[in-house]
Copies of this chain bind each other. A is one copy, B any other.
Amino acid sequence: MLYVVGLGLGNEKDVSVRGLEAIRRCAHVYLEHYTSVLGVDCEALEAFYGCRVTLADREFVEERVDGMLHQAREADVAFLVVGDPFGATTHTDLLLRAREEQVDYEIVHNASIINAVGCCGLQLYNFGMCVSMVFFTDTWKPDSFYDKLAVNRRNGMHTLVLLDIKVKEPNMEQLARGRKVYEPARFMTVNVALEQMMEVERTRGEALYGTDTFVVGLARVGQPSQMIKYGPISELARHEFGAPLHSLIIPAPDHTLHESERDMLRSFR
């Protein structure tokens, strides 16, 4: 049996009791380690579960999944995912493979950033599609988020902006010389995300938002040191949010907000 277990957002104790019981039954435990990270490291998980946890990076998930499914036919195997198992496309692919290979699986759900952002007071049912913000390079500045944000804002919906994470990315220069050397992990800050948003607004020029647009910056949602700040882009672009992970919300236009949304946001001013 393959258990796909969501770990939630904070530390080793955010797993559900059902999830913990499943993990402790398993012969092999893998932790998906490239679409998100917890506030604690792998050793903390191992100490709490009482078993070895193998880190599964992008390479693992793309190349060695068949081996894991093979193991799951003979024994209980846990594939741990930060947040909820369905936060990332990759995991749908894993389940499709499991179905094809007729490997039984069980999902253990947990909180995802997608529902935990409700902590800022904006109503979850009023969010439109999520957008992703990737690290811009000199030659690659994808701006498709702008059109999605436009649809959401023009229809009175909030937008969650998921910020780029680079864990175990190979250094391209070294790779060209045949050496696999990994870059240090990078997590996009609210500040960088807002800078890039303003850069795209200058190019597109549709005045979808400006430095005076109020947004919500969030850091470490679901962890004890969680931080939520509501303010204009100009202010939040300079605010120090501290350790990762960061997230960003562009609320629906102010006049469309509910009273309780407005009250709660104001308390994070």
A84 proximity list for chain B (CB < 8 A): 111, 115-116, 118
Q: Please tell me if the beta carbons of B16 and A124 are within 8 angstroms of each other in the complex.
A: no
Cα-based distance from A77 to B131 in the complex (angstroms): 37
Query: Which of A4-12, A136-144, A192-200 participates in binding chain B?
Result: A4-12
Whether A116 pairs with B124 at a CB distance below 8 angstroms is no
A203 at the binding interface (Cβ < 8 Å): no
Interface hit among A56-64, A86-94, A177-185: A86-94
Q: Which positions 176-223 of chain A face chain B at CB distance < 8 Å?
A: 222
Across the two chains, which residue of chain B brings its CB closest to A224? B106
Segment among A26-34, A243-251, A259-267 that sits at the interface with chain B: A259-267
Q: In the assembled complex, which residues on chain B have CB atoms less than 8 Å from the CB atom of A99?
A: 267
Shortest Cβ gap from A100 to chain B (Å): 9
Decide if B9 touches A18 in the complex (CB within 8 Å): no
A134 to chain B, nearest CB (A): 14
